[in-house]
Structure 1
Amino acid sequence: MNSGSSSSSTGFTTGQEASAVIGQNNLTTGVSNNDGSGTAGGFSLSTIGDDCNSGTGPKGTPLFSNGKLFVPDTGNCRTLVFNSVPTSNYPTASFVIGQTNGTSWSNTVSASVSTGPVDIATDGTKLLISDQTANRVLVYNTFPTASNASANVVIGQTNTTNTASNSTSRSTFRQHKGGLAVAGGKVLVSDYDRCGVLIWNSIPTADGANADLVLGQANFTNTGGMLSLEGCLTSRGVWTDGTKLLVVDSLYHKVFVWNTFPTSTGQAADLVLGSDDLDTYPAISGSGNNLLNGPTYVTSDGTRIFVTDSGNNRVLIWNSWPTVSGAAADVVLGQSSFSGTSANTTATGLKNPQGIALIDSKQLIVTDTGNYRYLIYNAK
């Protein structure tokens, strides 16, 4: 079904309004670091801003686990933690991860300070946070319960004070811009500048552990893209349930789809969304119901697929797992129809969304980067 409205099993409908907002005091405000009055300024457990990373809005994938909601406040170098999914606008977080408290910030990299948190993931016991500015992923062996918690392990660096980049090996990232998933005991991390995704077969227990596989490249030292299903140029968002796998390629406007989890380095995807061309891999961007323009993140419940189509200021939803490349989406959020692409600061609009999370198939949280907010959509 590609009518632009949801079926009874979808739960979300084209152009529907968000139910609540995090980081702003209403659904028509979109300023940096607002203090609840609709004007810039203020730094608290309720604000979303860019005091630490100027000009950087929130990015990446929130997480709901163990009864708590974790949302990256990327520009403020911290992750906000709520004791439940908020039901009203401008909620106050219980504590933060990545800073000593909720009213100040530091950008000095350490085990307790994150300088650009983007994605949050878990295996149910350990918590992982990707820290793009420090080019690393932090591993907490138990869920933090208060501010100023220290990570136990770092992936991508040899210790928790290093911030090196532009290194291509089994244990380092050239440039991690986000893209983190944990499922089936495995850890997947996108390495944007390498043009690939590194895979660890288990959550590392020591700093700087070697990855076991890489996708998008033939080996661990190659960089640059390959014009085929074996390669992606600018990998960003990653989702897996341990069997199926989705990887977003932002520059070439694609989402790679594996129907079964890859078992070898450089293994080709089964199909792509955003194009029906499997081999020549053209850099075609567009709107409509089957083209993408700079997509960044993806999530799924194993059946439906949700993609932040950032350049078109929208989220596309496929109601069923695609069986052919270039399959058309069924639902669009952020626009009233598939032809709309404008940025808006409303209850139905989005501005450069760069993150998405699905909660129990009943709620969708969208990281509305350009509006410095998170929108919560309730299933119909």
Structure 2
Amino acid sequence: MVRPLVWIGARSPGALTLPPADPTPSQLYAPRGVYLDDQTLIVADSGNHRVLIWHRIPDRDGQPADVVLGQPDFYSEGPQAAGRGSRHGMHLPTGVMVIDGRLCVADSWNHRILVWNRVPETSNAPPDRVIGQADLDECEPNRGGGVTGCGFYWPYGIGWVAGRFYVADTGNRRVLSWNSIPEDRQPPDLVLGQNDECSHAENRGEGPSPCSFRWPHAIAGNGTTLYVADAGNHRVLGWTPIPARDTPACLALGQRDFQSAWEMPHTPPGPSALRFPYAVACASGRLIVADTANNRVLMWHTLPRAGVFLPADMVIGQPDFAGNGENRWQAVERDTLCWPYGISCHNHRLAIADSGNNRVIIWDISV
């Protein structure tokens, strides 16, 4: 049985009352992204428009962060558009990831990816470069012009799968991929979900299909399969093998076929349905999905490769597959969830950005 280990963020005062969200080294406000490895915990504290870094995996509740990025100190908050205020401020950061020692942050509402050549050890350290904008002074969608392969509109998610760099360019309804972390204005090696680099219509201007997106939000995978959380279509799509060109997916979790995008808010979800799945993770032969609007996390013990509506093997945050209430419609407890937006899995640890509860919970999933 999985069990929660550490609670990062302020404790709830009880019942359904949320913990305080004032920025401090140990308090969070609606975190949407998280990254975990052997030594490091990194959290996109989205509501406070900052990223927090722990250089050692926390082993006690409420442990304060070591480094803050995007704000001048641990007690400041507020969106900072590039070129207005701080050139390296943030506006709703979401995806966070360390790739070959480099920290990448999806600074989504500044429409850019920020890159540090190493994980910063001092607060408010400026990024070494930016992807998606000409420089750190720019923050307009699609670089202030039309859609191309070198700009973004709300890039919520980033991924590193089989040596390839991926961006969930959510507002442009597509996933972009490069064969390495790109330089500025480097065109993508792959566009998934659109006919070309200049198209951006929802579901390619038609209905859902195995090769279209509504809100692609997160990316994960291994050397064999690529997974994309297509939150707006209430599904996770999968490609086996990892696509080298725009091809239809062979897996659709959460829907009964590739043409459906049903949302079922008032019925027990069961082990197969999804409602706004905003995050996906792949580790140790398991697939893990944040079924955000059902206030739960689902786990498949073996990686699904092809098919539709395949049932999960385990649920976290609810008593069973029928439950979907915020904090189980009871009190904020150590093992409840309210709108989990981000997840990261490393070996036997799972970090969940429990956004609606203003916290991150680290779980032991070794059993």
Q: TM-score by structure 2 length?
A: 0.88
**2:292 aligned with 1:313, yes or no?**
no
Aligned to 1:8: none
Distance 1:161 1:373 in 2: 31
Q: Percent of aligned pairs with the same residue?
A: 29
Structure 1: segments with no counterpart, 5+ residues: 1-12, 35-39, 50-56
Alignment counterpart, residue 370 of structure 1, candidates 350, 356, 366: 356
**CA offsets, 1:203-239, max 9 Å, x none?**
123x343222110112111122143211122111111
8 Å Cα contact 2:219/2:227 also seen in 1: yes
Describe how 1:261-272 pairs up with structure 2 within 5 A.
Answer: 261-264=242-245, 266-272=246-252
Alignment counterpart, residue 324 of structure 1, candidates 292, 307, 310: 307
8 Å Cα contact 1:253/1:292 also seen in 2: yes
Aligned residues: 347
Change beyond 3 A, Cα 1:294–1:42: closer
Q: Secondary structure at the match of 1:251?
A: helix
**2:91 aligned with 1:115, yes or no?**
yes
The amino acid that maps onto 2:357 is: N
**2:240 aligned with 1:259, yes or no?**
yes
Segments ≥4 residues shifted beyond 6 Å: 29-32
8 Å Cα contact 2:255/2:262 also seen in 1: no
Q: Secondary structure at the match of 2:356?
A: helix
8 Å Cα contact 2:25/2:65 also seen in 1: yes
User: How far is 1:108 from its partner?
Assistant: 4.2
**2:235 aligned with 1:248, yes or no?**
no
Aligned to 2:273: 291
8 Å Cα contact 1:230/1:269 also seen in 2: yes
Change beyond 3 A, Cα 1:111–1:268: farther
The amino acid that maps onto 2:199 is: N
**CA offsets, 1:306-357, max 9 Å, x none?**
1111111000111111242211001001100000010012122111110001
Aligned to 2:153: 174
Aligned to 1:276: 256
User: How far is 1:303 from its partner?
Assistant: 2.0
Change beyond 3 A, Cα 1:242–1:115: farther
Describe how 1:202-221 pairs up with structure 2 within 5 A.
Answer: 202-205=180-183, 207-221=184-198
8 Å Cα contact 2:8/2:26 also seen in 1: yes
**CA offsets, 1:248-288, max 9 Å, x none?**
11121110011221101x2211111112313x334344610
Change beyond 3 A, Cα 1:77–1:30: farther
**2:61 aligned with 1:89, yes or no?**
yes
Distance 2:282 2:350 in 1: 11
8 Å Cα contact 1:71/1:80 also seen in 2: yes
Q: Secondary structure at the match of 2:326?
A: coil
Distance 2:161 2:122 in 1: 26
User: How far is 1:149 from its partner?
Assistant: 1.1
User: How far is 1:102 from its partner?
Assistant: 1.5
User: How far is 1:63 from its partner?
Assistant: 1.5
- Residues 89-98 or 23-32, more deviating: 23-32
Distance 1:164 1:336 in 2: 44
**2:344 aligned with 1:354, yes or no?**
no
8 Å Cα contact 1:30/1:371 also seen in 2: no
The amino acid that maps onto 1:138 is: L
The amino acid that maps onto 2:301 is: N
Distance 2:223 2:73 in 1: 35
Alignment counterpart, residue 159 of structure 1, candidates 107, 127, 135: 135
- Residues 317-326 or 282-291, more deviating: 282-291
The amino acid that maps onto 1:331 is: M
Change beyond 3 A, Cα 1:284–1:99: closer
Change beyond 3 A, Cα 1:276–1:112: same
**2:17 aligned with 1:44, yes or no?**
no
Q: TM-score by structure 1 length?
A: 0.85
Distance 1:156 1:236 in 2: 17
8 Å Cα contact 1:81/1:96 also seen in 2: yes
Aligned to 2:169: 191
8 Å Cα contact 1:247/1:255 also seen in 2: yes
**2:78 aligned with 1:103, yes or no?**
no
Distance 1:170 1:29 in 2: 47
Aligned to 2:105: 129
Aligned to 1:54: none
8 Å Cα contact 2:159/2:167 also seen in 1: yes
Q: Secondary structure at the match of 2:238?
A: strand
The amino acid that maps onto 1:261 is: I
**2:126 aligned with 1:150, yes or no?**
yes
Q: Secondary structure at the match of 1:170?
A: coil
Describe how 1:221-236 pairs up with structure 2 within 5 A.
Answer: 221-224=198-201, 225-226=203-204, 227-236=208-217
The amino acid that maps onto 1:330 is: D
Distance 1:303 1:294 in 2: 24
